[in-house]
C-alpha cells in the first residue's frame, strides 16, 4: 500500500503558501495544532477519536466545537509533559 501522507503534506504546504498566502509563523501554528490534534487522537487506541475528528471535519462549526471541547478537556486535566501551551489560542 502506498502512503500518501508526504504528498498530502507537500500539497497542503503549497496551498497554504501560494493560495492562502500564509506566512511561516502561520504555518508553524498549523503544524503545532496538527501535532496536538494527532496527540489527542492517538491518546485513545480505539477508532472512536479518529472517527469523531473525521466527522467534525465535515463542517466548520462542528470542527470548531470539536476543537473547543478538546481544548477544555485538555485544560482541565493535569498537564502532561510537553503540553504546557493551550490547544487553541485566540491570537
Phi-psi region of 31 (alpha: psi -120 to 50; beta: other; left: phi over 0): alpha
| Predicted local confidence at residue 89, as pLDDT | 64
Instruction: Note the pLDDT of residue 41.
Output: 85
Q: Which residues of the chain have pLDDT under 70?
A: 1-2, 78-91
Model pLDDT, residue 12? 87
* Whether pTM exceeds 0.75: no
What is the CA 55 to chain-centroid distance, rounded? 14
Tell me, what's the pLDDT at 29? 87
pLDDT (0 to 100) of residue 7: 86
Amino acid at each position: 500500500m502506498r502512503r500518501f501522507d508526504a504528498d498530502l503534506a507537500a500539497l497542503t504546504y503549497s496551498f497554504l503558501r501560494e493560495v492562502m498566502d500564509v506566512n511561516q509563523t502561520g504555518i508553524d501554528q498549523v503544524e503545532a495544532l496538527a501535532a496536538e490534534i494527532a496527540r489527542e487522537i492517538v491518546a485513545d487506541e480505539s477508532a472512536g477519536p479518529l472517527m469523531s475528528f473525521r466527522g467534525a471535519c465535515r463542517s466548520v462549526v462542528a470542527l470548531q466545537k470539536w476543537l473547543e471541547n478538546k481544548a477544555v478537556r485538555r485544560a482541565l486535566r493535569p498537564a502532561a509533559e510537553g503540553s504546557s501551551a493551550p490547544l487553541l489560542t485566540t491570537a
